[in-house]
Amino acid sequence: MPRLLLLQLKRIGDAVLTAPAVGALRAAWPEAHIALVLAGAAGELAPLFAGADEVLTWQPGGLNLPLLRRLRRLRPDLALDFTSTDRSAFLALASGAPRRASYAKPNASWLRRLASTETCAAPVRELHTIDFHLALAASLGLKPAPGPDAGHLHLPPDLALPPLPPGYALLHPGTARAEKFWPVSHWRALLDHLHGRGLPLVLSGGQDDFERRHIDAILQGHPAPVVDLRGKLNLAQLAGVVAAARLAVTVDTAAMHLAASFAVPQVGLFGPTNPFHWAPRHLRAEVLQAGVAPGTPPHPKRAGAPMASLPWESAAAAADRCLADIRPPSPPPPED
């Protein structure tokens, strides 16, 4: 039975966008044992990666001796390094895998050059991140079959979620980068719009102080009732809350990628980052970029713009289009 080691040690969003590659590798090698290594907080996503036989976590700032011992016991036949950093190169080498694939980078360190027996020359600036990850698998001759971006993460059946109102709109204003914040006034106007449409409102976010202050300003004195779940969910629970939403409106952050993973009707708000590389691509997604007319095709070299230049009216109109496209669920088949 072949043994595959997959290394994704970047941020939470990158981990989510690796799921299609994990699914493609599972489809190409259904009998393989697949071990996936995630970093830090992204390890909370472990229960969602049904395509992996085991998910391990690299904790920054430590020796990670149990992880290293597990990799040696695994004895992988092949290591795929989706991260291409010195840290991931070290893990690939430490695993003892005879074949170790990573991306070709002109500024690669000696450790990365030593760690790679095979390299992928896919151009990162010309590909969506999901396609960039799939290219690494394809470079090994695996030829992963093309398929949808969604459907590769699965909610565990025992996932506990807080009480939620039916048919809610989920709003996720927070992110780790302050330049991705959409103005407080814009969020408040969108809350009013969705409340006026009769949608219950649920808000999620992280626990960082600067993110909390941003969301506090959004909610301060706002008359519409909002279920505030900030700091109350781990990542697996956040995925469950996102997946059950009637509509998700987010900035470019992990919650946006989770909504795309479950093909939730969504509005993705972009400013300094380019949606060409990160945007949801399913049919129920509306992607808005600051300084660009709605509906304009993404371009890999398009410059970013301040989030404040993205009107709230555009987001409200996009949300209305998402809601109009929703189809009621099919009735269950009649019982015999």
Taking the C-alpha atoms of residue 331 and residue 336, their distance in angstroms, rounded to an integer, is 15
Q: Could you give the 3-state DSSP secondary structure of residue 154?
A: coil
In this predicted model, which residue has the larger pLDDT, 43 or 294? 43
- The answer to whether 227 and 251 are in contact (CB under 8 A) is no
H-assigned helices in 183-336: 184-196, 209-219, 235-243, 254-261, 275-278, 312-325
Question: Same fold for the domain at 3-138 and the one at 169-325?
Answer: yes
Instruction: State the residue for tokens 């990666």.
Output: 49
Structure-derived torsion over alpha carbons of residues 318, 319, 323, 326, reported in degrees to the nearest 10: 60
- Report the CATH fold assignment for 3-138: Rossmann fold (3.40.50)
Domain spanning 169-325: CATH superfamily: Glycogen Phosphorylase B; (3.40.50.2000)
Parse the chain into domains and list their residue ranges.
Answer: 3-138, 169-325
Cβ contacts of 109 within 8 Å, gap of 6 or more = 86, 89
pLDDT band at 326 (very low <50, low <70, confident <90, very high): low
Average pLDDT (64-68) is 96
Helices (H) and strands (E) in the chain, counts: 11, 12
328 has a pLDDT exceeding 50: no
Mean residue pLDDT of the chain comes to 92
What confidence tier does 330 reach under pLDDT thresholds 50, 70, 90?
Answer: very low
Q: Can you read off the two tokens belonging to residue 335?
A: 């019982």
What integer pLDDT is reported at residue 147 of this predicted model?
Answer: 79
pLDDT tens per residue across span 89-105: 999 999 999 999 999 98
Q: Which of 232, 258, 230 is nearest to 245 (CA)?
A: 258
Handedness of CA 284, 287, 293, 296 (dihedral sign): negative
Look at residue 241 and tell me whether its pLDDT is greater than 60.
yes
pTM for the complete prediction? Answer: 0.93
The phi, psi pair for 302, rounded to 5°, reads -75, 130
Task: Give the dihedral sign, CA 137/264/280/155.
Answer: negative
Per-residue pLDDT tens digits for 271-323: 999 999 999 999 999 999 999 998 888 899 999 999 999 999 999 999 999 99
User: How many angstroms separate the CA atoms of 314 and 331, rounded?
Assistant: 34
Question: What are the tens digits of pLDDT across the range 129-187?
Answer: 999 999 998 887 776 666 799 999 999 999 999 999 999 999 999 998 899 999 999 99
Q: What angle do CA 91, 94, 100 make, to 5 degrees?
A: 70
